[in-house]
A and B are shown apart, each in its own frame.
Chain A
C-alpha cells in the first residue's frame, strides 16, 4: 500500500467529523463496561460477569420502556436490574464465598439464556424484539454549543446516555481520587489489611463496588438497547463486558484511561464498519489489535514491575 492511498484512507476514515462522532458513540458502551470492570478491579475483585450484567440491563430497559412508554422508565428498569444482579453476585461471592470466576461464568451463561427465554415468553418472539412502543433516547442538541462550528458538531447531538457516560467518567474520577470513600475503595483493593486496621469495613465496600459495577454494566446495556438501537437483540452485548476488562487493564484502572482506551476501541469499531463496507483490508486484524495491545501492555507492565523489584532488591542486599 503506497503513501497516497494511506493518506486517502486517513482523510476519509479518520479525520472527518462524522467518523469522530461515530467513534464517540461506539465508545460509549465500552466506557461504561470499562467503568464496571474498573470499580470492581479497584476494590480487588475480578468481575467477569460484566457481559451478563449488560445483557440483563439491556433487556429490562427495553421491557420497562415498552410497558411504561418512557425512556426514563427504561433507564430505571435497566438500573434496577443491574442493582439486583450486582447484589446477588456480591451476596453469593462475598457473603457465601462462592468462587468469583465460577460465579461470573454462571451469571454470563444464565443471563444469556434468561434474556433469550424472557424475550420469547414475554414478547413471544425469537432472536430479538423491536416495537414502536419501545421509547428510546433521542439526540439532544445542546443550545449555543451546537452552533459553534466543528466543536458544536462534535459535542452536540448525542443521546442522553452518552452525556451521562461522560459525566460518570468525571464523577468516578472525582470519587476515586478526591472523596474519602474513593480512598477507602482503593485501599481495600490494594491492601485490604491496611484498610481493615484503620477501621474500614472491607466487606461492605466490596459489596457496594459490585453493586455499582452492576449499574455501570446495566447502563451499557441501556445504551445498546435504547440509545443505539431501539429494541433488544439476543447476545447484543457482543463481548463488551470482556472488552470492558480489556480497556480497564489498558487504561491502567483510571477513569480517564478507561475513557481514552475506549475511544481506541470505538475508533477501531468505527474503522471496522467503514472498511467492511469498502472491503479494503481485512477488518479483523484491526478489531484484534486492542486485545493484542492489552496483552502487550500487561506483559510490559509486569516485566517492568519485576525488574523494579529486582533492582530494589539488589540495592538492599
Chain B
C-alpha cells in the first residue's frame, strides 16, 4: 500500500516540479522584462489575453498550434518507443514538399485529391524517417547524429526543388500554388465573420483526429501495446515474444509520417504553396512540447496548444506593446531548463532537508551531497542481489 502511495506521490511531485519550473521561468522572464523596461504583470496579462482572451486570439492560437500538435505527437510516439526523434524537423519539411507536389501537379476532384495529398505528406515524412531508423536498428548508428544530418539534407533537397524543378515564380523560390481541390479551407473562407484576421484552417480537425487516433492506438490496439512495451522495456518485450525490429521501425515510420502530415497540412491550410523553408523550427518545438507534456499523447497536445497560445499571445504583444515575440521562446526554453534538471530539485530538497536537521554532519555512506556515490551503491546493491 505504501508503495502505491509512493507512486501517487511521484506523480504529484512531478506536476509540482512542472509548476515550479513554470513559476521560475516566469520569474526569470519578469526580470528580463524589467531590465527591458516592461511591466511584467502587464506583459503576462496581455500575453494571456492575446492568446485566449479574444476570438481572434483564439483563432491565431489554433493556427499556431496546428502544426505543433503534429510534431509534438510525432515526437511523443518516438519517445514512447524509446527513441529521440530529432528528425521531426526534416520529416515535417519533406512531408510538406511531397504533398505540395501532389497538390499542384494533379487535377482531380477534391474528394480524391485532398486525401491523396495528405497521404503523400504522410508517406514523405515516413520515408524520410526510414534511413536513420534502419541504420539505428540494423547497425546501431546513433539516430541523433543521423537525423541531424538528414534534417540538413532535407533543407538542401527542398531548396533545390523550389529553386529549380518546382519553381513557379521568377523572383522568389516557391512552387506553384496547390490546386483548389487539395486545399484545406481557412475558417475565414467559410464565413467572413468566423476567424477574421487569422489563417486558422480546418487542418486543426485533422490534428485533433490524429490525437484521438494515436490515443486510441496507444490505449486500445495491439500495435500501441507493442510500442508502449518496447519503449518501457525492450528486454521484457523481447522475452514476451514481441518482434522488436518490426515494432521499433513501425513506430519511427508512423512518427515520421505524422510529422510529414503536419507539414502538408500547414501548406494546404496556411501557405497554399511551398515557400523555401517556410517554417523552420516546428520540429524542434514539437520535441519540446512533447517533453513539456510528459511524453503522453494528451499531455503533449495540451502543451502544443499552450505553446501555440503563447506564440499567438506573443504576436499580439509585439503588435500591442512592442515586446519582441521571441520572449516566448525564451520563457519556454527556461521552463525546459528548470524542468529537465531533476537533479536541481533533488539538490534543493536536500539543502532544505539539511537545513531542517540543523545542518548535522552527514554520516558516512549516506552523504547526501554525492549523487555519484549514491548511484554507485545502488548499482552494487543490484549486483549483490
Contact = CB atoms under 8 A, between A and B. Distances in A.
B285 interface: yes
A244 to B, nearest CB: 11
Interface in A57-101: 92, 95-99, 101
A117 B327 contact: yes
Given A242-B148, A299-B135, A299-B139, A116 B324 contact: yes
Interface string B347-384: 10000000000000000000000011000000000000
B332 interface: yes
B333 A106 contact: yes
A48 B135 contact: no
Contacts, number: 141
A168 interface: no
Contacts of A243: 152
Interface string B158-177: 01100110000000000000
B127 interface: no
B287 interface: yes
Contact of A287 (B145, B156, B281, B343): B156
Nearest to B33: A121
Nearest to B318: A120
A249 interface: yes
A282 interface: yes
Interface stretch (B218-226, B243-251, B298-306, B334-342): B334-342
Given A105-B86, A117-B326, A284 B157 contact: yes
B334 A298 contact: no
Contacts of A299: 135, 139, 141
A285 B155 CA distance: 11
Interface string A275-304: 000000010110110011011001100110
Contact of A106 (B336, B344, B372): B336
Interface stretch (A9-17, A107-115, A146-154, A170-178): A107-115
B59 to A, nearest CB: 24
B345 to A, nearest CB: 8
Contacts of B151: 242
A105 B341 contact: no
Contact of B340 (A99, A114, A242): A99
Interface in A226-259: 239, 242-243, 245-246, 249
Given A96-B341, A284-B157, A288-B153, A114 B148 contact: no
A107 to B, nearest CB: 7
Nearest to A249: B145
Nearest to A41: B145
Contacts of A106: 288, 333, 336-337, 340
Contacts of A242: 148, 151-152
A48 B144 contact: yes
B324 A117 contact: yes
Nearest to A126: B324
A117 B284 CA distance: 19
A121 B324 contact: yes
A103 interface: yes
| Interface secondary structure of A, over-half rule | helix
Contacts of B333: 106-107, 109-110, 113-114
B328 interface: yes
Contact of B149 (A112, A120, A203, A294): A294
Given A113-B329, A295-B146, A298-B146, A103 B324 contact: no
Interface residues of B, number: 51
A102 B344 CA distance: 15
Contacts of A288: 152-153, 156-157, 160
Interface size class of A (residues with CB under 8 A): 35 or more
Interface string B237-265: 00000000000000000000000000000
A96 B141 contact: no
Among B131, B148, B149, B150, the most chain A Cβ lie within 10 Å of the Cβ of B149
Among A96, A120, A245, the most chain B Cβ lie within 10 Å of the Cβ of A96
Contacts of A121: 36, 324
B156 A284 contact: yes
A239 B280 CA distance: 12
A292 B153 contact: yes
B342 A98 contact: yes
Contacts of A105: 86, 284, 287-288, 336
A46 B340 contact: no
B139 A98 contact: no
A97 B153 contact: no
A117 B145 contact: no
A131 interface: no
B164 A282 contact: yes
B271 interface: no
A306 interface: yes
Contacts of A120: 324, 326
A109 B141 contact: no
27 contacts: A48-B86, A97-B341, A97-B343, A98-B341, A98-B343, A105-B284, A105-B288, A106-B337, A107-B333, A108-B284, A109-B332, A110-B333, A113-B326, A113-B327, A113-B328, A113-B330, A114-B326, A114-B330, A114-B333, A117-B326, A121-B324, A242-B148, A285-B156, A285-B160, A288-B152, A302-B141, A306-B140
The list of the 5 closest CB pairs from A to B, nearest first, reads: A110-B333, A113-B329, A284-B160, A96-B341, A98-B340
Given A102-B288, A113-B330, 19 more contacts: A46-B144, A99-B340, A101-B86, A102-B340, A103-B340, A105-B288, A106-B336, A109-B329, A110-B333, A110-B337, A117-B326, A117-B330, A242-B148, A246-B149, A282-B163, A284-B160, A285-B156, A287-B159, A302-B139
